[in-house]
């Protein structure tokens, strides 16, 4: 499955490089939904909420009520997770809170593990949290099995190449695939059809942002590939 991404910041659809520098602004969220209508799921990230600088709650709800969305960004309490589900989110992405066990347990209890996707974002080999501003002295491979009971899948972002259109680290995703039988979604630097096809062979979904927004990948081609993939 191919999952197009809608990242929100300051009330706009944006794409960042490595979660820091804004590279471009997209069309309004409803126009992006129209463009992504052929895909079974959309990934929506509230970057302001992830960074603790605000929120885009109204836009998140607008999108989540119109499409099947996995929603993340600032989900650090059971109350926030429940609110997103009530507003239409299909699944909730939990990043920082996944490394606070009592909070993670509360989130899972509130919405069920089947509704939780845990984000394992890696930079320089270590997990990064709080909008990729802080690192945890652990690798994704070290923690992934321990976190399986609390979720139905993992969103794994290779932050080193995020938004750079330079390709991703397929070896890292191969190691993650070997470490868990849970659903995996790859993100971060995926730029070519060949990379997506290799991820499909590994039974890993692909979350795509910059390569779509900059026209490196054609949406019609991706829709056909997604329909034939995992």
Burial 152-189 (b: 16+ CB within 10 A, else e): ebbbbbbbbbbbeeeebebebbeebbebbebbbbbbbb
Q: Which of 86, 100, 121, 171 is catalytic?
A: 121
CATH class belonging to 2-228: alpha beta
Q: pLDDT at residue 22 above 90? A: no
- CA quadruple 165, 160, 90, 47: dihedral sign: negative
Q: Is 121 among the residues known to form the active site?
A: yes
Boundaries of every domain in the chain: 2-228
pLDDT tens for residues 29-50? 999 999 999 999 999 999 999 9
Q: What average pLDDT does this structure show over 176-195?
A: 97
Q: Is 7 among the residues known to form the active site?
A: yes
- CA distance to 43, 127, 133, 142, 211, per residue, from 54 (Å): 19, 23, 16, 32, 27
Confidence of residue 105 (pLDDT cuts 50, 70, 90): very high
Beta strands at 183-187 and 153-158: parallel, antiparallel or unpaired: parallel
pLDDT tens for residues 110-155? 999 999 999 999 999 999 998 888 999 999 999 999 999 999 999 9
| Phi, psi of 89, rounded to the nearest 5 degrees | -65, 135
Spatial contact of 190 and 206, defined as CB atoms under 8 Å apart:
yes
């Amino acid at each position: 499955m191919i999952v197009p991404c809608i990242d929100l910041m300051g009330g706009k659809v944006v794409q960042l490089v490595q979660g820091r520098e804004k590279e471009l602004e997209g069309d309004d969220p409803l126009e992006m939904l129209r463009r992504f209508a052929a895909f079974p799921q959309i990934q929506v990230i509230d970057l302001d909420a992830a960074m603790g600088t605000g929120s885009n709650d109204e836009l998140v709800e607008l999108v989540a009520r119109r499409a099947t969305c996995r929603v993340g960004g600032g989900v650090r309490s059971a109350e926030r997770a429940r609110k997103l589900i009530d507003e239409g989110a299909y699944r909730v992405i939990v990043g920082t809170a996944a490394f606070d066990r009592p909070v993670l347990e509360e989130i899972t209890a509130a919405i069920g593990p089947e509704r939780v996707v845990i984000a394992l974002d890696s930079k320089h080999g270590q997990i990064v949290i709080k909008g990729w501003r802080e690192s945890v002295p652990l690798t994704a491979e070290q923690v992934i099995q321990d976190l399986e009971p609390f979720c139905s899948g993992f969103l794994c972002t290779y932050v080193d190449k995020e938004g750079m259109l330079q390709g991703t680290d397929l070896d890292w995703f191969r190691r993650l695939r070997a470490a868990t039988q849970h659903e995996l979604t790859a993100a971060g630097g995926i730029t070519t059809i060949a990379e997506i096809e290799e991820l499909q062979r590994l039974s890993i979904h692909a979350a795509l942002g910059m390569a779509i927004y900059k026209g490196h990948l054609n949406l019609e081609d991706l829709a056909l590939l997604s329909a034939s993939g995992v």
